[in-house]
């Protein structure tokens, strides 16, 4: 019998990481479009809302009336989504710390991109401010609202002596920042999750290094954001699609339209240090087509056929665990979505699937607290041993 998959559709709700892009274009309108899709198909989504950006807009709102109007609309959008049953949880990009407003919605973000580079006091200050803002915004609608799930900006959550203990202090139950298998070496981010001990199931993390499974229950549970290995044919289709998009963006930049500025511009923040220059680019392409490519389950970068392939992979891996119920977290960035038709087809598909229940991050967090899910406190091999006779490998 197939296990029941509790599928969370999670959107990172933000402008570009470098501060470019108009919130009306990258956030407000996309949120209204995707919540309308959710509502049409009777499911509820979750939004990781970027709080450091909003706090920067509020801090500088007296310098430019436009900032206050945008910050007010930010609040209105979040409240409306929450009021209609969608989940809201905090997302923190620390590069907004000390943001300098240049005027005309232009920002200089001089802060470190990785939360791992901040001392405990600054981490605590950012997290406290984010939690305070969001809980005070939403408690007039639901007095019981609490921030339960955390997603670190640019996935930066481990290793850290401070982050997870601070999250526990603030009552967080769930973290979804780990994507097992990814590695970044860029001008902004140094991150190595290739050593993660779990890539699918909920687990208790070592509180100072969430890449590893604790040997005892902890106050926070990690659920890895889903990633899968795509076939080379699908990878080639994606690369061709991205090349066409880059060509269009280049053309639009040359003609200098306002719409392009409103969508923002990603610069070289995610360029891998090993892939600079012609030789580096050739090496990168050779690696992509000689080994299977790990792909984060970001719906904004998948067409419908690849979403179907991802779903086949999810079901196969869930079945192998032998568990009855498994939570799976899928990522999305609506700021990157122009055509929502593939996402709507996927949501329609999963809304009708008998083995899938679409849930929110808050529902998963409550399920974790209620013991509804198997949470690993030893490596997966021990879970397999447990299924063969021992009952002591999971909590």
**Would you state the pLDDT for residue 266?**
73
pLDDT class of 386 with cuts at 50, 70, 90: very low
Peptide bond into 392 cis (omega under 30): no
The residue range of the domain holding 47 is 4-227+297-387
pTM confidence score? 0.88
Compute the average pLDDT of residues 171-176.
98
Task: Confirm whether 180 is domain-assigned.
Answer: yes
Tell me the pLDDT band of 230, cut-offs 50, 70 and 90.
confident
pLDDT tens-digit profile of 257-273?
444 678 888 766 766 65
Yes or no: say if 179 and 227 are a contact pair by the CB < 8 Å rule: yes
Residue 288 within a domain: no
Q: Is residue 322 part of a domain?
A: yes
What is the rounded distance in angstroms from the CA atom of residue 332 to the CA atom of residue 48? 10
pLDDT band, very low/low/confident/very high, at 242 (cuts 50, 70, 90):
low
285 domain residue, yes or no? no
Report yes or no on 233 lying in a domain. no
| Residue 157: closest CA among 179, 172, 173 | 179
Q: How many domains does the chain have?
A: 1
Is the residue at 236 inside a domain? Answer: no
Residue 202 counted as domain residue = yes
Mean pLDDT of the chain: 88
State the CATH number of the domain containing residue 365.
Answer: 3.20.20.370
> With contact defined as beta carbons under 8 Å apart, do 136 and 142 qualify?
no
CA distances from 230 to 73, 147, 223, 234, 327 (A): 39, 34, 21, 6, 21
Q: Percent of the chain, pLDDT > 90?
A: 78
Between the two ends of the chain, the Cα-to-Cα distance in Å is 23
- pLDDT class of 144 with cuts at 50, 70, 90: very high
Q: Considering only CA atoms, give the Rg of the chain.
A: 21
Domain assignment present for 363: yes
**pLDDT tens, position by position, 9-48:** 999 999 999 999 999 999 999 999 999 999 999 999 999 9
Q: What is the mean pLDDT of residues 300-313?
A: 95
């Amino acid at each position: 019998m197939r296990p029941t998959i509790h599928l969370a559709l999670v959107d990172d709700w933000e402008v570009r990481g470098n501060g470019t892009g108009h919130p009306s274009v990258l956030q407000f309108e996309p949120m209204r479009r995707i919540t309308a899709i959710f509502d049409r198909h009777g499911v509820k989504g979750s939004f990781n809302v970027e709080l450091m950006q909003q706090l920067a807009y509020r801090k500088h709102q007296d310098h430019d009336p436009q900032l206050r109007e945008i910050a007010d609309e930010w609040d209105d959008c979040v409240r409306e989504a929450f009021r209609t049953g969608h989940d809201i949880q905090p997302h923190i990009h620390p590069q907004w710390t000390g943001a300098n407003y240049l005027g005309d919605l232009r920002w200089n973000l001089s802060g470190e991109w990785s939360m791992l580079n901040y001392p405990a006091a600054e981490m605590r200050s950012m997290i406290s401010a984010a939690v305070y803002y969001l809980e005070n915004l939403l408690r007039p609608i639901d007095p019981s609202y609490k921030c339960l799930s955390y997603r670190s900006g640019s996935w930066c959550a481990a290793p850290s002596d401070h982050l997870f203990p601070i999250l526990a202090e603030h009552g967080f139950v769930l973290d979804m920042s780990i994507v097992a298998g990814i590695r970044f070496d860029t001008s902004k981010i140094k991150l190595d999750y290739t050593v993660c001990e779990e890539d699918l199931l909920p687990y208790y993390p070592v509180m100072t290094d969430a890449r590893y499974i604790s040997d005892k229950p902890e106050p926070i549970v990690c659920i890895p954001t889903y990633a899968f290995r795509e076939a080379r044919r699908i990878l080639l289709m994606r690369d061709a699609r991205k090349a066409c998009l880059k060509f269009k963006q280049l053309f639009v930049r040359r003609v200098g339209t306002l719409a392009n500025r409103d969508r923002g511009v990603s610069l070289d923040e995610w360029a891998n240090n090993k892939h600079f220059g012609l030789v580096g680019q050739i090496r990168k392409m050779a690696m992509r087509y000689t080994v299977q490519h790990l792909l984060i389950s970001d719906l904004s970068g998948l067409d419908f056929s690849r979403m179907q392939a991802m779903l086949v992979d999810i079901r196969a891996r869930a079945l192998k665990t032998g568990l009855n119920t498994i939570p799976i977290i899928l990522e999305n960035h609506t700021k990157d979505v122009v055509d929502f038709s593939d996402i709507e087809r996927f949501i329609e598909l999963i809304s009708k699937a008998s083995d899938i229940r679409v849930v929110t991050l808050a529902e998963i967090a409550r399920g974790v607290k209620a013991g509804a899910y198997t949470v690993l406190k030893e490596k997966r091999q021990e879970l397999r041993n447990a299924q063969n006779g021992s009952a002591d490998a999971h909590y």
